[in-house]
Chains A and B, each alone.
Chain A
């Protein structure tokens, strides 16, 4: 079953400096991108980075990401 994963960008302001969810997820479900398009090799201000669920098919629902997020920004539901 695919989960719905939401990240509150208002709470997660600088994911590149935090990246706790990216590192803890056992199955690399999250992806780090930007909200200004896929300009993958440009210098982009830290505030433009966002985290999203990408590999939903690999999510077990372990909730480690929800627990570790210091901003309470992540919701995972099935």
Chain B
């Protein structure tokens, strides 16, 4: 079982359907560790969320497993306490749009760091919950401002971003409080990159896993480009889409692209080898 559900679902089907996990106390949460973590040494921290610096890459290069493991554990501990994510499907994101208010779109910190995108081209990140009112009240303190959305508008934006190829992830701000409904991709998202490039679980896999039905798949390959997690490829000999179940994050983007309905999402909990593979 997902440890976040174990700790924070409180009877709801998934922890991110529990409205209590959006009710952040504004007078309490401070991310001191992240603020103190030297921007000069790691400018990505200023715009993205990589908690790993060059020392990690050097340890990797000299194959110093012990040092890598230590840094990985430290990064995960900080991240799980303050700011980590989990992949969710479009369906789950649309449900969140109904239980959570307010929701706003705003500038995406990762893409700002990766590409220097100006705010006008960069409103792909969504914020949720009472924290958003601070952004409205003090626009000069919070760069770029926010654009509030009705639940219906939020659903439209989410659907559009999904079409564009972006994966939905929820992010905590002071766990378990969820404040981000992020729309991400490889190579632009710091969270996806930290997980895929280095195996550090600042981003958790989702509650489902995609499977291809070989009877229904006609080998059209329309789904292949949708995967941001390197789980989906094309198997020429079988002439079918191929999904690596271990690598799949359960985002569901591939399934939405398939007009044969050949890809289905099954519960992670129904697959013994994957139950704990977050």
| Cα distance A37–B43 in the bound complex, in angstroms | 8
Asked if residues B43 and A33 are in contact (CB atoms below 8 Å), the reply is yes
What's the count of A-B pairs with C-beta under 8 Å?
94
Q: Range of interface residues on chain B?
A: 20 to 34
A51: nearest chain-B partner, CB-CB: B43
Among candidates B57, B109, B113, B140, residue contacting A2 with C-beta atoms closer than 8 Å: B57
Among candidates A1, A34, A56, residue contacting B46 with C-beta atoms closer than 8 Å: A34
Asked if residues B143 and A33 are in contact (CB atoms below 8 Å), the reply is no
Main secondary structure of the interface of B (DSSP, over half): helix
Q: Which residues of chain A are near B58, meaning CB under 8 Å? A: 2
Which of B1-9, B47-55, B215-223 interfaces with chain A? B47-55
Nearest CB in chain B: distance from A78 CB, A: 12
Q: Which residues of chain B are near A37, meaning CB under 8 Å? A: 35, 38-39, 46
Main secondary structure of the interface of A (DSSP, over half): loop
Asked if residues B116 and A32 are in contact (CB atoms below 8 Å), the reply is yes
Binary CB contact string for chain A from 30 to 73 against chain B (1 if under 8 A, 0 otherwise): 01111111111111100000111011111000000000000000
Chain B interface residues toward A at CB < 8 A: 34-35, 37-40, 42-48, 50, 54, 57-58, 60-61, 109, 112-116, 135, 140-143, 187-188, 193, 197
Supply 16 A–B pairs (Cβ within 8 Å), ascending by A.
A16-B116, A19-B115, A28-B188, A31-B44, A32-B43, A32-B114, A33-B47, A37-B39, A38-B42, A40-B45, A41-B141, A50-B43, A54-B42, A54-B44, A56-B54, A57-B60
**17 further A-B pairs in the complex, CB-CB below 8 A; given A28-B188, A37-B39, A38-B42:** A1-B61, A2-B57, A19-B116, A28-B187, A31-B46, A31-B114, A33-B44, A33-B46, A33-B113, A34-B46, A39-B35, A41-B143, A43-B141, A54-B43, A56-B57, A57-B60, A58-B197
